[in-house]
Each structure stands twice: as structure tokens, then as C-alpha cells.
Amino acid sequence: MSNRTTEPPNPPTQPNHRTLLNHLTNLDKSLTTTLHTLTKPLIPPILLKLLELTGDGRLWFPLILSLLYSRLRFRLRHQSLLLPLLVGLVTDIAAVGLIKYLVRRPRPAHNSHPMGPTLSVDRFSFPSGHASRVCFIAAFVDLCGEEGLGGPWIGWVWVWALTTAVSRVLFGRHYVFDVVVGSGVGVVNAYFVYRFFRF
């Protein structure tokens, strides 16, 4: 009977997709930290906080609801857009909340500013709800240009939306990829809400 030496099994190798994901995550963290560190001495925190407030759902929900249920809405030229905006804000918070709950990515370590009262899923970072919300509003207003809502000020709405989205990284609230994906979610949401109410 021959004594065969058995070689130890090869250690399991990580799948390529997991290695790629780790590489992208590390790149995202590095880019985010670099942007935050470089701009921190240059941009006053109060400006970033102000941008945060302008994209907050605690501002937009009461604003849209008050316009819907006040006499002022009868004087608004585009009052028919209020209900789609409200529906879009609801679908936005539902989509972002679901993704945050499933992914559960922690916020950046340098997120040191108090966040105030938030929902439980808001302790997670991916995707950015602010970026999603402001890009939904900008994209929806842009799509409604063919409904007579056009004008040069639509460009300013996009400037506000993109500035607010970028500020989430500079303020330390989110990683770059959180903001990119959040912005995409907002634009896609705007397209579906617009098509639903248009047709």
C-alpha cells in the first residue's frame, strides 16, 4: 500500500466581482476624503448647511402640501404640477429608504456635523436622499418645460440641484458614489412621474 502525500487544498480565492467592488469602494472613499479635505478650509460650513436645508424633505413636503391646500394655489399658473411633485417626493423617499435599508452603507467617518431629527434609515449613506430629491425636482421641472413651464430660470434650478448634490460630499454627509446614484434615482423618478401624469 503506497503512502500518498496529499497536498493541502488551495485557499479559496475571492470572486473577481468582489475584488472589483472592494477596489471601487476604496476608490470612492479616497476620492470623497480628498474632496472633503481640500474644500473644508475654503467653503463655510454655514453655506453647506443652508444648501442641506434647501434640499430637505422637511421643507418640501410642508411647502407642497400648504400650496395644495391653500387659496394661493388657485392663483398659481401651474397648480396642476403640485400633485405630481408631491407624488414624486413620496416615491423618492420610498425608493431611497428601501435602498438604504437593503445596502446599509455607513456614512463617512468625517461626517461630524449634527444631522438633527432623521428617520432610522437616514443613518445609512447609500444613496443620497438629498441628491435624489433635488435632482427629481430639477428634472421634473425641466420635463415640464413643454407644458409651458419653460424659461431661463430652469437652468438656475439645475444649478441649485447640482450644487446641493455636490455639497453632500463636501459637507461630509455622503460618498461620491452615494451622490451619483442618488442623482440618477431622482432623474429616473422624475421621468416616470412625468410620464404617468402626462399620459
Catalytic residues: 130, 174
Q: State whether residue 18 is helix, strand or coil.
A: helix
Angle (deg, nearest 10), helices 153-170 and 176-198: 150
Q: Is residue 176 within 8 Å of residue 31, measured between CB atoms?
A: yes
Q: Is residue 108 within 8 Å of residue 28, measured between CB atoms?
A: no
Q: Is residue 164 within 8 Å of residue 21, measured between CB atoms?
A: no
What is the residue type of 151? G
Strands (E), 9-105: none
Give the three cell numbers for residue 33.
476624503
| CA 15 – CA 18 distance, rounded (Å) | 5
Q: Is residue 100 within 8 Å of residue 126, measured between CB atoms?
A: yes
- Collect all residues with Cβ–Cβ distance below 8 Å to 172 and sequence separation of at least 6: 36, 108, 110, 111, 112, 113
